[in-house]
Structure 1
Amino acid sequence: MIRKTFNKLGARLYVQIWEKRIRATDIDSGRIFDESPLLAIEKKGRRETVVAVGNRASSVPGGDTRVVNPFSHPRSLLRDFAAAEKLLQHTFRELLGNTLLAPSPLVVLHPMEKTLGGLTDIEIRAFRELGLGAGARESLVYEGEELTRHTFDLQKVRDQSEADGTATAEKGGGIAQWVLLAIWILLIAAMAIFGQP
């Protein structure tokens, strides 16, 4: 079980984003999440809760529920940062499992459309921050030919990012992830020592 948790912490995800589709591939396991980039959000008083994601979101009944596509805008691929972050969090959990410790993968985000002339520095920063905000330990933005699980080369992605000036040393909550893992291991050890179920 501990080995599975460490594997999830070291996962590498390649996320392709279109206006009407999001496709995320776990490079190591080959698992794929490929659905509409939709969120069904229900409002109860001041609180909003995500009640469905992906293809299921389009069939949620109305009332106090609205369906949001964070990637639908005439000029830019990223319209609603907060909704996109929630969508990526769900995608990570779908691919890596919903465990006590949230998955913290290395993520390569690949905007697949609305990139004529290349992404601006602001768009690159927004996509990078989107990955980090969703829980990635490292987030890279890739512009180039579509990758597959077999053609994915992290070093080439990093090199391309550096050549384009889009690479930075920004990384997400890796330290917090490791602290939580250490606490979790200590709790398991304490339960084993003191005989708690």
Structure 2
Amino acid sequence: MATNQEHVKLLGATGSPFVCRVQIALKLKGIEYEFLEENLATKSELLLKYNPVHKKVPVFVHNDKPISESLVILEYIDEVWKQNPILPTDPHQRALARFWSKFIDDKIVSASSKSVFTLDEKEREKNVEETTEALQFLQNELKGNIWIPLVQDIIGLQLFTAEKFPKLYNWSQEFLDHPVVKETIPPREPLFAFFKGRYESLLAASK
């Protein structure tokens, strides 16, 4: 009889923090899976089949049943594979985890990414202000986000530093030192080169 670990696929793109989030969860759970690299410039027929609504990664496929959106995928993985729980078992703590996860995606990841791919100074200032305000909330409430140092290096802004946010900075270093995280996160230099290239292409196109 097939087990839960059989027929597991992940459609993703190297460098995506949302895809990396799912990969870390799968490794923590000890789940074997097939990784299918997507070219988001062309979008494969498989991606369009499994995620016709948003047409983006990650897409998690379990026994040919697709699930989209990284936070939804994490909850599914946690419910199907009980070992090494990701979310708290207490309903209130679980709800808080969902709330802050969405907060990080909406207020930090989204705003900091927009800071990279906009040439409008006023728009960038607005995004930086939103990111800084959100980080201040997390400084008192939660954890950090591993992609922020990469983003700030590309655009030449210092959003996330040990001086400004010591608790978040220390936690992020501890997180990055976890063996599973070290094994999963792509090397920094290729990531930096990729996003730097996109930023420079944006600059060149505007001239």
Give the alignment's TM-score, normalised by structure 1. Answer: 0.25
Q: Greater helix share, 1 or 2? A: 2
Q: Greater strand share, 1 or 2? A: 1
Give the alignment's TM-score, normalised by structure 2. Answer: 0.24
